[in-house]
Structure 1
Amino acid sequence: MTKTVNLLKSLLHNFGVVLVVFGFAFLGRKIDSFLGITGFHSVFTTAAAWLFLVIGFLVRVWAAFHFYEQRMKVISLVPQKKLITTGPFRYSRNPLYLGGNLFIFLGSVLFLGSPAGIVLTAINLIFVDLMIRREEKQLAHEFGREWMSYRNRVRRWL
């Protein structure tokens, strides 16, 4: 029963993420319109958009599920008390950011055909990377050698 609840929480949380990110992409389209920039659409960009959206959503659901299984919050203003190194965290130290801030963001702006959205996504990634570096300092302080070992074997993004 708990696994089912955790899966449902993961799915619902990430449907919310997709909605918020599409709002972000819509902002990109508004900027395009304001600046007189023509959007783009093709079979290739639509297919790439769907691929990025599906991959990003599934990665985020998988990562959120691991958080919920450890009785941790996906969004927390205080440092976490556990270091998760299983599931998608075996391949990326930041699968939530990878799935959301890269794949879902990119998929949504490609889906809407927004050049400004692509620029906004790149700017967002710069800020996310700065946030990740701050979080990594907290993890090093909190988990010491365990963090260092994990950091040395798993890449930040991919």
Structure 2
Amino acid sequence: MNERKIIWVIFIILIIERIIETFLPDKNKQKGEVSSKWLFYCMLVSGILIYICAISEFIFLVKKINIFITIIGSVLIIFRIILKVWAVKTLGKFWSIQIEIREDQKLIKEGPYKYVRHPSYLSTMIEVTAGPLIFNSYYTILFVWLVYIPFLITRIYLEEKELLKKFGKEYEEYRRSVPLLLPIKIFKK
């Protein structure tokens, strides 16, 4: 099997995983108050564009595949899936593809949430960077960081506001003790 066929197989697996994650949410989920719905659609459209751009770049611009870069992207995707599943399972009925706060929402501080406040968004950042790496689509990574990541940062900001509104001092304490996205403390007080 040549390198290009391997990349297409990886891509198909990635798309199936993404469709399942996005469009087949658990039926047992409790509905809550959704805010900033527009942002979900911006992220959905730009997320689809990432893969259209990556595929187009792969087909029309990538002459020689750097298999090492493809392997790095694939390993990152595997890590991303593990992190995402861990985050979603830890949140349980409180997980949502929207910014959604439930009436009986609990502040989850265990699992990956013990190390970072937004492990699901970290996994998304890994995905949208690693996907184009698999295709050796470097221009697409530029699109990711100029278009998609600003939407994601906006979503994190808006979700933080909602969590502060819901949990008040408890969330403020959590914010002080747990890093936003990377499990390292850059500034110590």
TM-score by length of structure 2 reads: 0.64
Unaligned 5+ segments in structure 2 are 1-15, 23-43, 183-189
Instruction: Decide whether aligned partners of structure 1 residues 88 and 13 sit closer, same or farther in structure 2, where only a CA change above 3 A counts.
Output: farther
What is the match of residue 73 of structure 1?
95
Give 1:103's aligned amino acid.
I
CA-based RMSD = 3.0
SS of equivalent to 1:28: helix
Q: How does 1:7-156 map to 2 (within 5 A)?
A: 16-17=20-21, 24-29=49-54, 32=57, 37-38=61-62, 41-68=65-92, 71-80=93-102, 81-100=105-124, 102-122=125-145, 123-156=147-180
Identity among equivalent pairs (%): 23
Q: Is the 8 Å Cα contact of residues 28 and 115 (structure 1) preserved in structure 2?
A: no
Distance 2:58 2:74 in 1: 23
Residues matched between the structures, number: 143
Give 2:101's aligned amino acid.
P
Q: Which runs of 4+ in 1 moved over 2 A?
A: 12-18, 20-26, 29-34, 36-41, 73-78
What is the match of residue 3 of structure 1?
none
Distance 1:153 1:31 in 2: 43
SS of equivalent to 2:100: coil
Higher fraction of helix: 1
Deviation (angstroms), 1:32? 3.2
